[in-house]
């Protein structure tokens, strides 16, 4: 997980802690007086489950982390969980020390196999002695989430691929594909589709001689284009004319230089060569996958600034 994503997750968890801490603290105080009476505990939990609108399951553990009550939800009561030892579950980490309240990291639940998290609140008597724990499970889909969409940073990322492919790298060499025979025509048509006809994301698969494209009018679907379509100017008649996308961060006059750089990487070496190249004009990222199965995601400006020596020389 990137540092930026960790920071956003931490902020979201802080908001949840602030929301949950006070009501669970009050509930724990209420439970402390009836810890020896299972029925009273479950009555309080049932009432509280209705009030804690985001809660999925609620239960009480004894001082050793063994469940004292059924697991209660707004819909039913699960008695099968009575007596379950939860002391070693990840959400109990630190709870046998001085920690009074803990919101766990997200995990996949055992019961429903869904992303979940658990809030644990220590139950103490008037003298501060540990009597047990209040546990509340939350389904992530039912919790309030951040209002904005996570925006990923645009730093260069390199991802290693299949080790089996990498180990056999020097036993292979590039085979000339049909697309390789018509690259200038392919690049010209792709440039037209992006700059004049509403394609905001395109990926060229050089070895299999095809492309996948995403259009601003229908961004949730993609089109697969054969090499015959990629070299036929009539293909442009199948797509509406659109102004260069207003959210684009790559200048339109840089699309062709990027495509030609794909071509240079495709032919620079017989062993290490470009297999696929993609352009997203909105986030400005270039995607590259090489014959060694290694993938790179790099900002368009950095991509154009780096020469072939970076990819195949000492800097690669």
Protein fold of 3-142: Beta-Lactamase (3.30.450)
Domain ranges of the chain: 3-142, 157-312
Q: List Cα–Cα distances, 55 to 47, 100, 286, in angstroms.
A: 12, 19, 43
pLDDT of the residue at 314? 45
Average pLDDT, 10 consecutive residues per value, the chain (316 residues): 64 78 90 93 87 82 95 88 91 88 82 81 92 90 56 57 54 84 95 96 96 95 94 90 95 96 90 92 94 84 85 53
Residue 305, H or E segment: helix 300-305
pLDDT of the residue at 13? 77
For residue 137, the cross-strand partners are 57, 118
pTM: predicted TM-score of the whole model, two decimal places: 0.61
pLDDT of the residue at 49? 78
């Amino acid at each position: 997980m990137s540092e930026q994503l960790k920071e956003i997750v931490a902020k979201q968890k802080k908001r949840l802690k602030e929301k949950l801490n006070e009501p669970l603290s009050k509930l724990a105080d209420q439970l402390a007086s009836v810890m020896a009476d299972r029925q009273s505990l479950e009555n309080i939990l049932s009432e509280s489950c209705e009030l804690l609108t985001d809660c999925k399951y609620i239960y009480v553990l004894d001082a050793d982390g063994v469940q004292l009550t059924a697991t209660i939800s707004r819909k039913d009561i699960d008695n099968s969980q009575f007596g379950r030892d939860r002391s070693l579950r990840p959400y109990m980490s630190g709870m046998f020390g001085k920690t009074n309240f803990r919101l766990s990291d997200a995990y996949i639940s055992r019961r429903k196999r869904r992303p979940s998290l658990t809030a644990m609140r220590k139950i103490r008597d008037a003298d501060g002695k540990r009597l047990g724990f209040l546990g509340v499970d939350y389904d992530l889909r039912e919790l309030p989430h951040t209002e904005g969409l996570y925006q990923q940073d645009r730093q260069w990322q390199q991802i290693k691929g299949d080790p089996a492919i990498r180990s056999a790298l020097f036993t292979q060499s590039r085979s000339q594909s049909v697309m390789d025979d018509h690259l200038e025509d392919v690049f010209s048509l792709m440039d037209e589709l992006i700059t004049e006809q509403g394609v905001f994301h395109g990926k060229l698969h050089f070895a299999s001689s095809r492309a996948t494209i995403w259009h601003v009018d229908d961004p949730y679907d993609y089109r697969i284009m054969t090499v015959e379509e990629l070299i036929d100017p009539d293909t442009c008649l199948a797509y509406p004319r659109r102004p260069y996308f207003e959210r684009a961060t790559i200048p339109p006059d840089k699309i062709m230089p990027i495509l030609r750089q794909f071509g240079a990487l495709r032919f620079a070496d017989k062993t290490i060569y470009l297999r696929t190249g993609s352009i997203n004009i909105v986030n400005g990222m270039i995607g590259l996958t090489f014959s060694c199965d290694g993938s790179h995601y790099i900002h368009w400006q950095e991509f154009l600034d780096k020469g072939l020596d970076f990819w195949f020389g000492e800097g690669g």
